[in-house]
Amino acid sequence: MNRKHPLLLALSAAMVMGTSAPAFAAEATDAATREDVISLLWQQEGAPVINYALPFTDVADTAADAVRWAAEAKIVSGYGNGKFEPNQKITREQLAAIFYRYAAYKGYDVSVGENTNILSFADASDITPYAIPAIQWAYGSGVFLGTEEYVLPSAAVAEAEVTTMLKKVTVPPAATVVAEIPEESISLVYKGNENFVLTSKDVQEQFQLNCLVDGSYAPTLTLADLNNDGKDEIYVIFTVGAGSGFHVEGIVAYDKETLEEYFVPDPREIAEPLITEKDGTYQLSTKEGVHTFTDLGSYGKLVFSDMVTYRIVENTLTATLLLQTAPDTACGELQLTYQPVEGGFILKEASYLPSK
């Protein structure tokens, strides 16, 4: 059965498109920096440490290995005069150029898009000449999507958008096994365009996941008997988005023998009722009791970030959410423990882990 799991619709990152109004991307929140992007690519490659002289004088030690790798791979060249400007917000044309060079570094066909007409964009003349081939490639290959009016080459790009685009750059060839448990004859095959096939012995299930499929972010398969019926279930944990300072996962569960799907509710939906507000004071109810929050930061309220991670430990499924009162202010984590019921899971209990 082909379908898109409802949970994925809630977790999917926004696609990066041509825009219909000049204010769109310029107002991106949580804008990625040049260092963020290079660190993400470096991690994608397994964080290699290379013997290459760092050609820039303004890069912190924490990012030196990543930028050194990118410079040696000719993915970045800086601004001249030994400057890389790591903390500068990356622009759309810079990001296209970096991904274009990264694709070439990976040996991908970057000739796609050579004939892409970008003159139809109202601001095509604003594209810096060096970035024109990269912008053509980005639209021609589908890394950038959309046929609206503006490219906005100088606009900032949100971190979630960077991750979504990288997913488009690094999609592996069709019919690639991305996870398997050979001794159980279980495999997860990516067939392109978000389509997957899960095989357990002679049974197959087709479904769609909007997720990363390459490298350390590829989906994982776990066998566990969480419903205590004496038979393992198959749990697919996948990464919807990841980058500097955030990580968003999803999960789907199947009966090992029939591949019937078990329902795992979105942790944010079941956690929302645990937060209450009265007269500007927010309270969180967990198994430890009621926690009160009065210092509410720039948000003026207590919210869950987009970050979600799942773990299966000691035959128990948990989901962890990050609590925030401002974009850069975390006030702890909420750990949700699931309880198996017929056909799926419900919330068993919630625990609050305050920030240290």
Are 221 and 293 part of one and the same domain? no
Are 146 and 177 part of one and the same domain? no
Are 108 and 24 part of one and the same domain? yes
Give yes or no for a contact between 153 and 123, defined as CB atoms under 8 angstroms apart: yes
Which of 136, 74, 84, 137 has the alpha carbon at shortest distance from 105?
74
Integer Cα distance of 323 and 272 in angstroms: 11
**pTM for the whole structure:** 0.56
Q: In the structure, what pLDDT confidence band is assigned to residue 126 with cuts at 50, 70 and 90?
A: very high
pLDDT at 11: 31
Which of 244, 266, 240, 262 has the alpha carbon at shortest distance from 253?
262
Give the domain-ending residue among 117, 147, 169: 169
Top-confidence range, 15-24, 192-201, 315-324: 315-324
User: Domain total for the chain?
Assistant: 3
Are 222 and 118 part of one and the same domain? no
Give the domain-ending residue among 202, 229, 260: 260
Cα 286 to the chain's mean position, in Å? 28
pLDDT at 250: 93
Strand partners, 89: 33
pLDDT digits (tens, 9 = 90+) for 106-118: 877 787 777 788 8
Query: How many alpha carbons lie under 13 Å from residue 226 in its C-beta half-sphere?
Result: 30
Cα Rg, the chain, nearest whole Å: 22
Give the domain-ending residue among 169, 198, 222: 169
Are 298 and 337 part of one and the same domain? yes
Which of 94, 103, 158, 155 has the alpha carbon at shortest distance from 128?
94
Are 29 and 154 part of one and the same domain? yes
Q: Is 139 helix (H, G, I), strand (E, B) or coil?
A: helix
Domain with 304, as residue range(s), is 263-356
Which of 87, 83, 79, 85 has the alpha carbon at shortest distance from 36?
87
Are 40 and 134 part of one and the same domain? yes
24 vs 273, higher pLDDT: 273
Are 43 and 130 part of one and the same domain? yes
pLDDT digits (tens, 9 = 90+) for 25-46: 434 457 899 999 999 999 988 8
Beta strand segments in the chain, E: 176-181, 186-190, 195-200, 203-208, 220-224, 233-243, 246-255, 261-262, 275-278, 281-286, 289-293, 303-313, 316-326, 329-341, 344-354
Give yes or no for a contact between 194 and 212, defined as CB atoms under 8 angstroms apart: no
Mean of the pLDDT values across residues 202-208?
91
Are 154 and 184 part of one and the same domain? no
Are 161 and 25 part of one and the same domain? yes
Are 282 and 351 part of one and the same domain? yes
Q: Is 60 exceeded by the pLDDT of residue 10?
A: no
pLDDT at 26: 38
Are 163 and 304 part of one and the same domain? no
